[in-house]
Amino acid sequence: MMTEQVYTLSTLFEQLGLSGESTDMDAFIASHPLPEDTPLSEADFWTPAQARFLCEGILRDANWAEAIDELNLRLHQ
């Protein structure tokens, strides 16, 4: 039986080419607040590849969707 990989905020950051260390993630989130009306994947600080990955992860309800949702919530606080 195959087990599904669990994707966390930390593994999402690493997938995006960023540090998955807790303090680094907190610093990134604190320094990149998003206005309520800006979708996560349209934030101006992502590279085109990062933005595409985030957008497709949500649209396809991929395994990454929960971690992407968590990042979205934290950046919009």
> Count of domains in the chain?
1
> What CATH number does residue 13 fall under?
1.10.10.1130
Give me the mean pLDDT over the 49-66 stretch: 92
How far apart (Å, rounded) are the C-alpha atoms in residues 34 and 7? 23
Global pTM exceeds 0.85: yes
Q: Does residue 1 lie in a domain region?
A: no
Quick: pLDDT tens for 30-48: 999 999 999 999 999 999 9
Q: Does residue 21 lie in a domain region?
A: yes
Question: CB under 8 Å to 25, separation ≥6 — which residues?
Answer: 9, 10, 13, 18, 19
Segments forming the whole domain that contains residue 66 = 9-75
Percentage of residues in the chain having pLDDT higher than 70: 95
Q: Does residue 2 lie in a domain region?
A: no
Q: Supply the pLDDT for residue 4.
A: 65
